[in-house]
Amino acid sequence: MKHIPAHRLADLVAGNWNSHSAAKAREHIKNCSHCLGAMKRIEVGRQAMGEIASADSPELGWDHIATRIYWSTSSERRASEREEPSAWRFGGRKILRNGFVAAGACCALVVAAYMGLYPSSADEAEQLAASPAVQVEADTSKGVSEPMLEPAKPVAENLQGVITFAGAEVVMNGAALDFDSLVRQGSRFSTGEGELVVQFGLHNSFRLAPQSTLWLQSFDSQSVVLDVVGRIDIDIEKRGAGQEFVVVAGEQRVVVHGTAFRVDFRETRLDVSCTRGKVVVSDGQEQVNVPAGQRFGIIDSEWQDVALRALPIRADRLALLDAEMAMPTLAVWNPGNPLESSSVLQVKSAGEQEVALDGIALASGDFLVRTSSGRHQIARVNSDGSVADGNWYDVEAGQQVSTSLAMSLPKAVDKSRRARAIRKRELKQAINARGKVSRCLAPLEKQGLMAGAYVDFEIGMNSDGTQRYLNIVGSNLSPVIQRCLRTAVSAETLAVGGSAEFSLHLAF
């Protein structure tokens, strides 16, 4: 006799069978050790479920939560009061089309108040008013106060940046990059295979990753607004009062006060990771705080489908991210003439050979790096991460020195091939372990249509274990199942390892 399905056993435990069928089933269970064991486990499980249903709320910091709710709602109210009447809707959310700078300033102000960075007297009064007991007192103090004089706005001075690193195929303002040109408001960059690092103060710099574009919408001492598509790493010192720093990524803004963080915005996906300080991601209506060591991501601008919270970054990934975000910058900064006392090293190393400057691994391929005048060592980085003995170069201010390093092409190929094989194996294991793929195929399996089904993926895996891209290049499955499979595979995040691009054939 067939065993009784588990969900039917659950019905039996719940008393949902008629007496005749129940008696027959119990007779079977008495003689079937499999069903008997299953029934016992279900009984215990259902008992536990009953206890769960009667669980009461744990004690929480109710007053603290109340204050946070008050602040969240009142911040929104203030923000909405500042909104222009021409607000429009996009993707089911109301956002402002015009004036990212103005909106960014409002947002920065709101965020600053929210973060408690600039507690104005009004904010303080509102904070006090969160408790009805002190509301009267706060109102009274407001009533007798004289009209506040608006403080004089500080004069915005244009910022100047210098390019401290540039890889291959970097384009500035539509033309080939002139490494000695200064970066100013309105500058536009696009990177091909190489990266770009710009420094605009002793402790302020950003790095534009390969295949990214950047427009410096605003670039002065009071407002820096960077419009980016692709990935950008930013490391800035704490902003002064009234200063804003905003990264515009599509319809989202990443507002920052002084921090190191990464914004990765490609097509419809935004990922913000923060390694130091705190940033706030906002679409004009919703906002999410991303403190140090956390990340926040959205896909298709669908804020409503995500829990509005940042998630912790795993310790190993955080360490890797921190290391990746280190940028080659000048140790001395002259605001009047930033190019003064710096020199340029041009390094040519064919293929993937990684090169170190003064003992620190910098990049691979051809690149230009700006450094202070003096003596510098350029060396190859071995496959185990150690730095080989290199050559010393004396460079004077304003001078450009070129060098080329020999490389071992076979080694690089081996490394890449090995990384591909490892990553492919890891991904397959991860997919099998989760069983999500089989869930996607359940309808087909039910109909007995599995034989011969296949899907071919093209995958780019980053060294931190996240996926750079994922494409389906061939399949005989329906689009719905393909989409499901793609979602299942894209959800996989591997351990830190090699960066690799590979194809994956899944046959069922």
Indicate the residue among 167 and 465 with the shorter CB distance to another protein.
Answer: 465
Residues that bind another protein (CB under 8 A): 5-7, 9-10, 37-39, 41-42, 44-45, 47-49, 51-58, 60-62, 64-66, 68-70, 72-73, 76-77, 129-130, 132, 135, 305-309, 311-312, 439
Alpha helices in 54-181 (DSSP H): 62-82, 100-114, 121-129, 132-144
> Whole-number minimum distance, CB 305 to another protein, in Å?
7
> Whole-number minimum distance, CB 475 to another protein, in Å?
22
Beta bridge partners of residue 158, listed in sequence order: 220
Query: Cα torsion at 473, 475, 480, 483 (round to 10°)?
Result: -30
What separation in angstroms does the CA of 478 have from each of 24, 263, 330?
A: 43, 34, 55
Strand ordering across the sheet containing 454-461: 467-475, 454-461, 500-507
Amino acid at 308: L
Indicate the residue among 50 and 85 with the shorter CB distance to another protein.
Answer: 50
User: Taking Cα atoms as reference points, which of 395, 400, 397, 399 lies closest to residue 341?
Assistant: 397
Q: In whole angstroms, give the CA distance from residue 208 to residue 50.
A: 55
Indicate the residue among 47 and 432 with the shorter CB distance to another protein.
Answer: 47
- For residue 244, give the 3-state DSSP assignment: strand
> Whole-number minimum distance, CB 486 to another protein, in Å?
16
Q: In whole angstroms, give the CA distance from residue 206 to residue 196.
A: 8
Indicate the residue among 99 and 312 with the shorter CB distance to another protein.
Answer: 312
Indicate the residue among 31 and 54 with the shorter CB distance to another protein.
Answer: 54
Indicate the residue among 57 and 86 with the shorter CB distance to another protein.
Answer: 57
Indicate the residue among 77 and 428 with the shorter CB distance to another protein.
Answer: 77
Query: Cα torsion at 143, 145, 146, 147 (round to 10°)?
Result: -70
> Whole-number minimum distance, CB 484 to another protein, in Å?
11
Tokens 């190393």 belong to which residue? 349
Q: In whole angstroms, give the CA distance from residue 382 to residue 368.
A: 21
Indicate the residue among 220 and 445 with the shorter CB distance to another protein.
Answer: 445
Amino acid at 162: V
> Whole-number minimum distance, CB 68 to another protein, in Å?
5
Alpha helices in 83-218 (DSSP H): 100-114, 121-129, 132-144
Residue partners of 293: CB distance under 8 A and separation at least 6: 274, 275, 312, 313, 318
Strand ordering across the sheet containing 354-357: 360-364, 354-357, 374-380, 391-395
> Whole-number minimum distance, CB 89 to another protein, in Å?
15
> Whole-number minimum distance, CB 310 to another protein, in Å?
10
Q: In whole angstroms, give the CA distance from residue 78 to residue 80.
A: 5
> Whole-number minimum distance, CB 437 to another protein, in Å?
13
Q: In whole angstroms, give the CA distance from residue 384 to residue 93.
A: 50
Indicate the residue among 198 and 279 with the shorter CB distance to another protein.
Answer: 279
> Whole-number minimum distance, CB 187 to another protein, in Å?
37
Indicate the residue among 261 and 296 with the shorter CB distance to another protein.
Answer: 296
3-state secondary structure string across 318-370: HHHHHHHCCCCCCCCCCCCCCCCCEEEEEEEECCCCEEEECCEEEEECCEEEE
Return the structure tokens found at 342. Answer: 């710096």
> Whole-number minimum distance, CB 45 to another protein, in Å?
5
CB distance 95 to 284 below 8 Å: yes
Indicate the residue among 145 and 487 with the shorter CB distance to another protein.
Answer: 487
Indicate the residue among 269 and 415 with the shorter CB distance to another protein.
Answer: 269
> Whole-number minimum distance, CB 241 to another protein, in Å?
28
CB-CB neighbours of 231 under 10 Å:
21
> Whole-number minimum distance, CB 126 to another protein, in Å?
10
User: Taking Cα atoms as reference points, which of 177, 179, 147 lies closest to residue 163?
Assistant: 179
Measured in Å, how far apart are the chain's first and last C-alpha atoms?
Answer: 31
- For residue 276, give the 3-state DSSP assignment: strand
